[in-house]
Chain A
């Protein structure tokens, strides 16, 4: 790959991020949406959680950028390596979502176990529980190293850059382009939380955990058997 001037690479990274952002959004949506819906109401709280999520996601991006720069373009193109990583990340995401689905940590969350009589959609709001940063950081990092198609395109570009700093910068700018698309999730903070609402979000998180667990385990088993 021809070495491009830094400014050209930066513009390319930003445009790539902005252009492929909807795909990133769709790709991370199954993780972000149920997790955000479980959070208590409030735009400020959602903005804080989303900031933590994106910060952890940025760390994931930079880790991947460093790995791909050292390993070269082969890592991005290697189906075998991708399968192991992808399978492992999927299983970890499943575990993360299951934790949310189970309503952990119960001690701090008054809405972990909705009472049976409060099941009417549009019922009374429930008390807000204080969210923890751990979930945002773990899910953010895992989605940051989850190999979605735009991520691989950016990986191919970054692998050919002349220095590690440039590769990191490329991914940081690419991240900024994609991060814009995540801002609408903050607006979920205005939605009123009811016991039913939280239950639905938890059930959806459990279903998604099953899905990620199934796909991740399938990939790992396939790799273990067929190599």
Chain B
């Protein structure tokens, strides 16, 4: 029985020794990132940081060992998606006593900045030199998540990795990826291809309306994740309607539809920030390409893609659509090795593993820096709730 299993098991992509060697930089980076946490007192935070270092390093090792990206990245991403609200809500309740944000705290600039707002800031800032978000530009003691810090982090990561932000940095996408993974088979298989244009329309809608009203319309009316983060205190019919919209969108786009379709429906068919991020794929070095000599047009990759970033036409042309999040699902699913990681300016499929490695070092460094710190703090919060001595 054991020998039969050994016979059927596919050969490892890389030896253990080489995999460890390639994982060393990631382990060093993780240790460096969490060094300040260990210098400060706080057992729960030490435990959280240690867990994240082990978790992120192990996942990277498995990526190296198996040659699969999507499969291991998903563990990190789903953990981030589900643990972020836990830590965030706990800190809100600890500081404010409630998830809702009162108007006086908005006025005093105490709202933590969310990157979803970035495209909405551009026109009002250009036309009227006004920031339409009630947060502080520089970090303060009560609000370290300031506008300048978040924009700086986002810009650096986006310029290097393009829309990979949506697969390695976004702390919202993991929730729906988790619900999509929970379903064994897709119950809804046929989706209108025009749906992938909706995020662009929502982007146009929220950008022009935010400029007209001088308020972040997406946060006020459309963000599904307000249901699990923070929201304006319900004190009128208008705020009650807003809350109803948040809950309905969250339930439909983040829970029900991902479960039924096995796709990241909110990311693929709704998120305006994702559409905005797509523009950066144009100027980004990393992409997925298809080796047409190997491709047999089986469309396994198209089925595997969680965001409908592949079409029959795009595969025939040897590439993805603009909204590719570089999650690696298509590469993992391709049985012919036709879907490959690619560095722009080089020949397709010449050294795809080298392109993958270069990309993954950047993406995993970002994931550890941004998502890892969120994970560590959320784990520390959870440990704080446990009845431990």
Residues of A that sit less than 8 Å from B by CB: 22-23, 25-30, 33-34, 37, 114, 116-117, 119-122, 196, 199-204, 206-208, 211, 218
The residues of B that contact A200 with a CB separation of less than 8 Å are: 197, 200-201, 204
Could you tell me the dominant secondary structure of chain A's interface residues? helix
Task: Compute how far the CA of A33 lies from the CA of B209 in the bound complex, rounded to whole angstroms.
Answer: 11
Asked whether A203 and B128 contact (CB < 8 A) given A29-B212, A116-B193, the answer is no
Residues of B contacting A119 in the complex (Cβ-Cβ under 8 angstroms) = 193-194, 196-197, 311
Residues of chain A within 8 A (CB-CB) of B212 are: 26-30
Determine how close the nearest CB of chain A comes to the CB of B94; give it in whole angstroms: 36
B residues with a Cβ closer than 8 A to A are 123-124, 127-128, 192-194, 196-198, 200-202, 204-205, 208-209, 211-212, 214, 238, 278, 311, 313-314, 321-322
Contact in complex: A120, B314 (CB < 8 Å): yes
Contact present for A203 and B193 (CB under 8 Å): no
14 other contacts beyond A34-B204, A117-B313, A204-B205, with CB at 8 A cut-off? A23-B128, A25-B127, A29-B212, A30-B208, A33-B208, A119-B193, A120-B314, A121-B322, A196-B197, A199-B197, A201-B204, A204-B201, A208-B208, A218-B238
Pair B128/A30 contact, Cβ less than 8 Å:
no
By secondary structure, the B interface counts as: helix
B residues in contact with A23, CB < 8 Å: 127-128
Contact partner, A33, options B124, B197, B204, Cβ 8 Å = B204
Known: A22-B127, A23-B128, A201-B204. A29 touches B198 (CB 8 A): no
B208-A120 in contact (CB<8A): no
Report how far A23 CA is from B322 CA in the complex, Å: 33
Which residue of the partner chain, among A28, A29, A117, contacts B193 with CB atoms under 8 Å? A117
Cβ contacts under 8 Å, A22 to chain B: 127-128
Residues of A within 8 A of B202 (CB): 204, 207
Q: Could you tell me the distance between the alpha carbons of A158 and B211 in the complex, rounded to whole angstroms?
A: 27
Q: Which residues of A contact B127 (CB under 8 A)?
A: 22-23, 25-26
